[in-house]
Amino acid sequence: MTDRKRVCGPVVSVPPAFEVPEQPSFTRDRNADNCRKLYLKLGWATKAMGSAYYESGKIKIGCSVYGPRPNKTFSFQNVAKLNCEIKFSPFSMPERKGHMQSAEEKDYGFLLEAALSPSILLHLYPKSSIDVYIEVLESDGTVATLAAAITCASAAIADANIECIDLVTGVSLLYKIQGQEYWVDPDFMDECGRPRPHGSLVLGYMAALGHVTQVWNKGKCVPERLAALLGKCTETAKGIRLVVNHTLCQEKSGSLVNEKP
């Protein structure tokens, strides 16, 4: 007798043949010093204390901030605890991501905490915690996505009316190790389509104070060239800061008008 509930495969089968993917070619249509146009929207999450939606090209990020709220630990803390959690959606990258947070995403969260902590007056909120949740809906380049997450998270913290000394804007850069070429705000095609080896640079910058909060450099670079690349990043960060300032002024002025009797 045959099992009716069992689906038997064919007696003779042929393994499938897959086409070899071609190496992506360079298709950058903007100058090396130019970054992608960005769109920023505040207050999209009604349940959160502050939220921001960031879109730049194919990069789409949503961030929500909760707190300051009482810390659940019994030990007294003089300053607030900043917790940053970043998660890539399963469909955000060409290779499908898992639903659980990976070790790489946890490392990115620690890097974001280091970039955002110097701008927040954590000593004003003792025994409290500030939770920042970042969801990457679509990614187009790893370093560019991390830089966008810094800007989006800082704008969401400002939308939550948390005391800060300045806003942090993130900038990414890709450079050739064996040459003088560099590319600001690299996308996925820039990272994969160029001849390797190359290095990457991510910068967190407070434009009003002129302070650097965090620098992540991957690759060999002499100090003189690194200083020149950091100068290019700071110039780009100042331009991004103008967009963030304009968005905050529009959102806060509109909320004040609505609150008037």
How far does Cα 150 stand from its chain's mean position? 5
- Identify whether 10 is part of a domain: no
pLDDT in tens, 13-68: 777 787 766 655 556 678 888 889 999 999 989 889 999 999 998 999 999 999 89
Q: Which residues of 222-261 are buried (b: 16+ CB within 10 A; e: fewer)?
A: eeeebeebbebbbebbeebbebbeebbeebeeeeeeeeee
Domain count, the chain: 1
- Identify whether 228 is part of a domain: yes
Q: What Å distances lie between residue 202 and 25, 143, 249, CA to CA?
A: 24, 6, 27
- Separation of alpha carbons 120 and 180, rounded Å: 36
Which pLDDT belongs to residue 143?
A: 93
The number of residues in the chain equals 261
Residues paired with 205 in a beta bridge: 169, 212
Two structure tokens written together for 63: 């961030």
Question: What CATH number has the domain bearing residue 160?
Answer: 3.30.230.70
Two structure tokens written together for 17: 């043949």
- Identify whether 190 is part of a domain: yes
Q: What Å distances lie between residue 53 and 40, 60, 131, 138, 184, CA to CA?
A: 6, 8, 17, 12, 22
More confident of the two residues 195 and 37: 37
Most confident of 85-94, 163-172, 218-227: 163-172
For 199, residues 6+ apart whose C-beta sits below 8 A from its C-beta are 174, 175, 176, 177, 217, 218, 219, 220, 221
- Identify whether 4 is part of a domain: no
- Identify whether 30 is part of a domain: no
Collect contacts of 192-198 with beta carbons under 8 A, ≥24 apart: 192/23, 192/24, 193/23, 193/24, 193/25, 193/26, 193/27, 194/26, 198/174
Which pLDDT belongs to residue 258?
A: 46
- Under the banding of pLDDT at 50, 70 and 90, the label for residue 261 is very low
- Identify whether 201 is part of a domain: yes
- Separation of alpha carbons 2 and 34, rounded Å: 67
How far does Cα 57 stand from its chain's mean position? 13
Residue 160: count of CB within 10 angstroms of its CB: 22
Two structure tokens written together for 231: 């100068």
Domain that holds residue 158: 38-69+77-90+100-255
pLDDT in tens, 207-258: 999 999 999 998 888 889 999 999 999 999 999 999 999 999 988 776 543 4
Q: What's the predicted TM-score (pTM) here?
A: 0.85
- Identify whether 24 is part of a domain: no
- Identify whether 104 is part of a domain: yes
